[in-house]
Amino acid sequence: MSKSILFLGATGGVGFSALQRSLAAGHSCTALCRTPSTLSDNIPAEVDQKLLRIEQGNAHDVDAVLRALLPSPSSPRQGLPDVIVFSIGAYFNLSKMGMDDAHVCENGIKTVLAALQKARTEHNLQGKPRIVALSSTGVSDFGRDVPLLFVPLYHVGLKVPHKDKKAMEDALVESEEEWTIVRPSLFVDGAKDGPKREIRAGKEDPIKGVVESKAVGYTISREDVGRWIFENLIEGEKAGEWLRRMAAITY
């Protein structure tokens, strides 16, 4: 069954990986991009262009996100998208010796929540999209999900981006939306071709404050995080098992 999916952060590794797979499977996708050509120039020629709608705008702009949430005039969709894949992030700024935006994820997800509210109240759009938000291991309140060797790196070297990820998670958990938070282990570059690597996933219920299963590992590629999101949260028959759950994924 074809789904409608909104991508915020589709030009990056994880979002682009999930987007490519969604288009190949025949899903109707919308991507919000500050520079649309950054995405359109990299879409394979064989993709059905009718399946992809690219909106120009910033994910921190409520009106831009609202515009991407609304159905296009030619779309058969009547309500909100089925899924929102949220994978925006900040880059390390050498001149600042820190992140170029220390609140990029927190402010971004608050923008999404505000835009959803506006779509319902001002445009009477119905539906409750599953928000799939990209976070990180190392921010759990209920158990260690990283190897001991990584603890100093995560709690010192990555303190600022992880604080941002945690604020994003808290905003989602406190909302009334449907969501799944994906916490990948440390990113590595991986070949996009070749045999699939096994991906393990631990599951945490932050509402009850329990770790239902653990998967502690060192690394995973951005490409495979996108694959896991597509296979388990967009098309997965057991996607419901991940509703309002954190998924710690690793090789």
Helix/strand/coil for 64: helix
pLDDT score for 77 = 85
Predicted local distance difference test score (pLDDT) of residue 155? 79
Residue 8 has what pLDDT?
98
pTM: 0.94
Averaged pLDDT, 89-112: 77
pLDDT of residue 191: 58
* Percent of the chain at pLDDT exceeding 70: 94
Burial class (CB in 10 A: 0-12, 13-18, 19+), 173: middle
- For the chain, the average pLDDT equals 92
The residue-averaged pLDDT of 120-144 equals: 96
Give the per-residue pLDDT at 94.
43
| Angle of helix 222-229 versus helix 13-24 axis, rounded to 10 | 40
Residue 114's pLDDT band, with cuts at 50, 70 and 90, is very high
User: Residue 93 pLDDT > 60, yes or no?
Assistant: no
Q: Which 3 state secondary structure label does DSSP give 157?
A: helix
Q: Is the pLDDT at 98 greater than 80, yes or no?
A: no
Comparison of pLDDT for 189 and 176, the residue scoring more: 176
Query: With 70 as the cut, is the pLDDT of residue 32 above it?
Result: yes
Q: Which two tokens stand for residue 93?
A: 């700024």
pLDDT confidence of residue 78: 87
Query: Which has more confidence, 161 or 112?
Result: 112
Region of 26 on the Ramachandran plot (φ > 0 left; ψ -120 to 50 alpha; else beta): left
Query: Scanning the structure block, which residue is given the tokens 């098992």?
Result: 241
Q: What is the mean pLDDT of residues 68-77?
A: 87
pLDDT for residue 233 is more than 60: yes
pLDDT at 97: 43
CATH value of 4-250 in 3.40.1160.10, 3.40.50.720, 3.40.50.300, 3.30.70.270: 3.40.50.720
DSSP string covering 120-137: HHHH-----PEEEEE--T
Q: Look at residue 91 and tell me whether its pLDDT is greater than 70.
A: no
At residue 143, the 3 state secondary structure works out as coil
* Strand segments (E) across the chain: 4-8, 28-33, 52-56, 83-86, 92-93, 98-99, 130-134, 178-184, 186-188, 200-205, 210-213, 219-221, 245-250
| pLDDT on residue 100 | 73
